[in-house]
Amino acid sequence: MSVEGKDIIIKRSLKRGNDDIKQESGYVVVNGLKKEGTSEELRAIVLELLGYPKDLIKKGKDLIYRYTVYTPQEEMKQILYEGKDTRLDTLRKVFNIDKYKRIKDNSKMIIASLRERKRHLEGFILDIEYKKRDLEEKKNEISGIDKKISEMLPKIEDVKSIISQKRKKIDGIEGDIRELNLLRRELSTAEANMGRRIEENNRLNEDIRRLESQIAGLQKELENKKLENADEIAGKIEGKEKEINETEANYKSAIRKIKELEVKIEACTETTRKIRELDVCPVCEQKVDEQHKHDVNSREEKKYDELLAQIGDFKDRESKYEKIRLELRKELDSLARQQNNLNFLRLKFQNLEDKRNEKEEKSALKEKIKKEIGSLNSAKIEMNSKIANYSEAEEKYKAAKKELDELLPQERFLELEKRKYETEKESIKRFILSLDKEVNEKQKAKESLSHILQLGNWIDELFVNLMSTMEKHVMVNIHSQFNELFRNWFDILMEDESINVRVDEEFTPVIEQDGYETYIENLSGGEKTSVALSYRLALNKVINDIVADIKTKDIIMLDEPTDGFSAEQLDKVRDVLNQLGMKQIIIVSHESKIESFVENVIRVEKQDSVSVVI
């Protein structure tokens, strides 16, 4: 199809389900640009292309489309039988003036909300005057507390001044007390040091007596004893150890030789045994004769005798070296005992020397401690003299401290009283801040209440009436045009001059027959159809005039518009269609006469429960 020069192709898909047929996704092609979408998305695109208002597109059932382009005749009759409120709501939507009703409905909700807000604010500001009086009283309380605090300040200053003087006096005495305590600590330290020195001196006396006793015992024990030459004995021991090592080596060599000779004797014995048992030589494989055996035995026996002689000689050497070794061991042991005795004697001489040195050190330390005891004693005498000079300081300090202790409770009491008033003042201040904030909020609420009252009165008395007047004015214009068209189409379709029609203010058809009003239910089928078709065509014309941008002004679809019409009425339909001036009119009808005044006819019939074009 083409709309305002735009080539448009619409593709929709249907899918049969178990119980019904559902629309699947499809696409729209506008000037070669393809856009896919769901059935709802395609519907919105098509309605927009046709120029229908966006706010009406969203209202469902496509009211303008159904009452402008296509409406089944039975549905058009339905609008005539509905209640006036339902019909008016439908027509408001069709004429796009339901916004006035929505505005009035919304205004009523706003007024209800304002009334609720008004009740809330009235309750909120109910105690505003009491709060203001309370606020003034609290401010007066602050003034009274400030007066009490100002009266207390001179008393506090007097007590503080006296306390300051007493503390200065105490500070002066405390210097003497600190000096006195320092002297006492120094005296205590001196007495402790002196006690430790005396104890140390006593221990030194005991140590010296003990050392003198030990020295006397060692001198008596070492009397007429001398230290021999220790190096000479050490040289002898070293020589003996060398001799023992050499003898030990010779002894072991003799034993080793004996073992080697014993091995050779066993070899001779084995050779003799084997030659006696040998008949054939294992090397040359010749027979061994008795002479050869005799020669080998003689040779081995001679060697055997020589080896026995050598073993005897080496055993004599073994015995000799064993005796020498034992003798040298005895001599080494004797030299070792001499060396041990010499070392023990040397230790005793060293011990004697150490005791003498220790005695001299302790005697020197004793003299030093004796001098320290004298110095500490002199310091004690001097400190005791200084302490006596500060004997009155403690009494003065106690007296001054007592006077100060009596003044401090007075100061604390006054400070506590002052702090109590200050705390009370701060508490009242916080309460005043809270109360002041609350009063301000209530004052603002009072001003807001005044504004709400004005706004509510304006909406209720002016704005709602204005919307009603505007809606009525628009509806009057539409009603006048609609009524004229309705009557005109009906007069053309009906030849009976005894029947007249019009619409009242609620767009309800009013039928007069022979000068009396009658109900639409009392009309014949053809008459009912004439009323419905006239109503339908009037709607079409009015809507097309009101909605300026609509793109379907030149097309209309009529579904069974002639139900119950006579042949003469069918001819009248031709006149009506010509007067409409539409570019395209589509009629769905079973009337064969309709074919005579249309340009194209498409016949559809059922074949095996399927509608097909024939």
- Other Cβ atoms less than 10 A from the Cβ of 59: the count is 13
Q: Supply the mean pLDDT for the chain.
A: 82
pLDDT score recorded for residue 482: 86
Q: Is 21 left (phi over 0), alpha (psi -120 to 50) or beta?
A: beta
What tokens were used for 613?
């074009």
What tokens were used for 187?
């005296």
pLDDT score recorded for residue 273: 79
Q: Per-residue pLDDT tens for 206-251?
A: 888 888 888 888 778 777 766 666 567 777 778 888 888 888 888 8
What percent of the chain stands above pLDDT 70?
93
Least confident of 256-260, 342-346, 454-458: 342-346
Q: What are the two backbone dihedrals, phi and then psi, of residue 472, each rounded to the nearest 5 degrees?
A: -65, -40
Q: Per-residue pLDDT tens for 350-363?
A: 887 888 888 888 88
What tokens were used for 449?
């209440």
pLDDT score recorded for residue 284: 63
pLDDT at 463 over 80: yes
pLDDT score recorded for residue 502: 92
Helix (H) and strand (E) counts in the chain: 13, 12
Q: Is 31 left (phi over 0), alpha (psi -120 to 50) or beta?
A: left
Our measurement of the distance from residue 45's CA atom to the centroid of its chain's CA atoms, rounded to an integer in Å, reads 48
pLDDT at 59 over 60: no
Selection from 309, 310, 319, 307 nearest residue 251 by Cα: 319
Our measurement of the distance from residue 337's CA atom to the centroid of its chain's CA atoms, rounded to an integer in Å, reads 89
What are the structural domain ranges in the chain? 1-49, 129-216+392-426, 228-367
Q: Are strands 584-588 and 555-559 parallel, antiparallel or unpaired?
A: parallel
Can you tell me the mean pLDDT for 492-506? Answer: 84
pLDDT at 281 over 80: no
The DSSP letter of residue 463 is I
pLDDT at 467 over 80: yes
pLDDT score recorded for residue 601: 92
Q: Per-residue pLDDT tens for 293-318?
A: 777 778 878 888 888 888 888 888 88
pLDDT score recorded for residue 286: 66
CB contact set of 226 (below 8 Å; sequence gap of 6+)? none
How far apart CA 194 and CA 380 sit, in angstroms, is 10
pLDDT at 62 over 60: no
pLDDT at 374 over 60: yes
Tally of residues, the chain: 614
| Helix, strand and coil percent figures for the chain, each rounded to 5 | 75, 10, 15
- CATH number of the domain at 228-367, out of 1.10.287.510, 2.40.37.20, 1.10.3720.10, 3.40.640.10? 1.10.287.510
What tokens were used for 241?
């150890």
CB contact set of 532 (below 8 Å; sequence gap of 6+)? 73, 76, 77, 80
pLDDT score recorded for residue 58: 56
Q: Are strands 33-37 and 70-72 parallel, antiparallel or unpaired?
A: unpaired
Q: What are the two backbone dihedrals, phi and then psi, of residue 229, each rounded to the nearest 5 degrees?
A: -75, 105
Q: What are the two backbone dihedrals, phi and then psi, of residue 316, each rounded to the nearest 5 degrees?
A: -60, -40
The DSSP letter of residue 461 is I
Q: Are strands 70-72 and 6-16 parallel, antiparallel or unpaired?
A: unpaired
pLDDT band of 56, cuts 50, 70, 90: low
How far apart CA 429 and CA 407 sit, in angstroms, is 33
Give the residues across from 29 on adjacent strands.
9, 34
Least confident of 63-77, 108-122, 490-504, 519-533: 63-77
Q: Per-residue pLDDT tens for 411-424?
A: 888 888 888 888 88
Cα–Cα–Cα angle for 150, 154, 155, rounded to 5 degrees: 110
CB contact set of 234 (below 8 Å; sequence gap of 6+)? 339
Can you tell me the mean pLDDT for 470-494? Answer: 86
Pair 528, 77: CB distance under 8 Å:
yes
Amino acid at 402: K
pLDDT band of 288, cuts 50, 70, 90: low
How far apart CA 306 and CA 294 sit, in angstroms, is 18
Helices 567-580 & 525-546 angle (0-180, nearest 10): 0
- Check the CA dihedral 526-527-530-536 and report its sign: negative
Is the entire prediction scored with pTM above 0.85?
A: no
pLDDT band of 65, cuts 50, 70, 90: low
Cα–Cα–Cα angle for 12, 15, 21, rounded to 5 degrees: 100
- DSSP assignment of 215-273 equals HHHHHHHTTT-----HHHHHHHHHHHHHHHHHHHHHHHHHHHHHHHHHHHHHHHHHHHH
pLDDT score recorded for residue 228: 62
Can you tell me the mean pLDDT for 570-577? Answer: 86
pLDDT at 78 over 80: no
CB contact set of 48 (below 8 Å; sequence gap of 6+)? 54, 57
What tokens were used for 351?
């011990």
How far apart CA 80 and CA 534 sit, in angstroms, is 11
pLDDT band of 548, cuts 50, 70, 90: low
How far apart CA 255 and CA 250 sit, in angstroms, is 9
Selection from 502, 483, 489, 497 nearest residue 579 by Cα: 489
Give the residues across from 24 on adjacent strands.
13
pLDDT score recorded for residue 283: 61
pLDDT score recorded for residue 63: 59
